[in-house]
Amino acid sequence: MNTLLTNQRFDGFQATPFLWEGSLAGLEMFEQADEKVEGYPVVDTDAHIRLGKLVEQFVSYELDQDKTIQIIQSNVQVFQNQVTVGEIDLLINQLEAYLHLEIVYKFYLYDPSIPDELHRWIGPNRKDSLVYKLTKLKEKQLPLLYHPATAYILNGLNLTSDKFVQRLYFKAQLFVPLDHRNVRHDLINNECIKGFYVRFKDLTNYTHCTFYIPPKLDWLIEPHLEVDWLSYKDFETVVAKTLNDRSSPLCWMKLPEGSVQKLFVVWWD
């Protein structure tokens, strides 16, 4: 893997804030030290790794650099009768406290037409939402710690589930409509707002700009100038094909004066 590219992804991951502080919907966020980790060791990585798995590697490496933390086990596969029940992301010991951490990294767009504030944060293709993920964490992922099959694994580590507290390592990049860029949101960390989103018909407002469509793993990266920029005409052609497949791409847009912005182009109205 390219060293520069890996570090750009790692730096972008680290620059992404937690989605909230303290508690949200009864779920507690992990409290992390403020120190940033410099660089990420380049290892042979499957070119087809999912973004979520890459983030899990980043989190494990980051926590492993913290002298107050010992990683007990990661990616704990839980089986019952040879059937996979689920996976526990991380079991750690931090200053003699045992923590079960679930790792989440999401991209959400704000749809003001939805009545409830939390429900308004949806995935770029409307297949996912913040509320859906919070519900899944509450009802499936976090309860896995207390599953009988997990008890067998913990016994092998001389531990029991009652020793653990549960926390989320939940980072997100958020995108809002153009007319909501100055609106503050009470329930989430507004520092997570990284850009805006537009519909295909709105692109005519940006004919004077150039564009770049990063691959999925590079969605982590903070935008910069050292990429192969597309003209508006070429960008429009590529995006039209992507939207036709009902996929909303994340894009970088360079304005004539040289500043770069992050945005999604969505297929839905």
For residues 16 and 119, state if they share a domain: yes
Distance CA 252, CA 238 (A): 14
End position of a domain, from candidates 192, 224, 248: 192
* pTM, entire model: 0.95
Per-residue pLDDT at 46: 61
- Note whether 72 and 97 are within 8 A (CB): no
For residues 258 and 128, state if they share a domain: no
- Note whether 65 and 10 are within 8 A (CB): no
For residues 201 and 243, state if they share a domain: yes
The total domain count for the chain is 2
For residues 141 and 230, state if they share a domain: no
For residues 138 and 84, state if they share a domain: yes
Strand, helix or coil at 264? strand
For residues 112 and 244, state if they share a domain: no
Residue 166 CB neighbour total at 10 angstroms: 18
For residues 188 and 202, state if they share a domain: no
Does residue 224 register a pLDDT over 90? yes
How large is the average pLDDT for residues 175-189? 93
Per-residue pLDDT at 149: 95
For residues 172 and 224, state if they share a domain: no
Between 180 and 101, the more confident residue is 101
Question: What's 129's DSSP letter?
Answer: B
Per-residue pLDDT at 52: 94
For residues 159 and 210, state if they share a domain: no
Does residue 44 register a pLDDT over 60? no
pLDDT band at 43, cuts 50/70/90?
Answer: low
Distance CA 125, CA 151 (A): 38
Residue 215 backbone phi and psi in degrees, to 5: -65, 165
Does residue 133 register a pLDDT over 70? yes
End position of a domain, from candidates 144, 165, 192: 192
How large is the average pLDDT for residues 134-159? 96
Average pLDDT, rounded, for the chain: 94
For residues 242 and 121, state if they share a domain: no
Place of tokens 């935008």: 223
Q: In which domain, by residue range, is 125 found? A: 3-178+183-192
pLDDT band at 47, cuts 50/70/90?
Answer: low
The token pair at 158 is 């001389």
How large is the average pLDDT for residues 133-149? 97
Does residue 153 register a pLDDT over 70? yes
pLDDT band at 41, cuts 50/70/90?
Answer: confident
For the chain, the residue count is 269
Does residue 45 register a pLDDT over 80? no
pLDDT band at 6, cuts 50/70/90?
Answer: confident
The token pair at 250 is 């994340």
Between 98 and 36, the more confident residue is 98
Distance CA 259, CA 182 (A): 19
pLDDT tens string 76-129: 999 988 899 999 999 999 998 999 999 999 999 999 999 999 999 999 999 999
For residues 71 and 12, state if they share a domain: yes
pLDDT band at 269, cuts 50/70/90?
Answer: confident
Does residue 33 register a pLDDT over 90? no
Per-residue pLDDT at 231: 98
Place of tokens 């120190």: 35
Does residue 168 register a pLDDT over 80? yes
For residues 154 and 202, state if they share a domain: no
The proportion of the chain whose per-residue pLDDT surpasses 70, expressed as a percent, equals: 97
pLDDT band at 32, cuts 50/70/90?
Answer: confident
End position of a domain, from candidates 163, 192, 221: 192
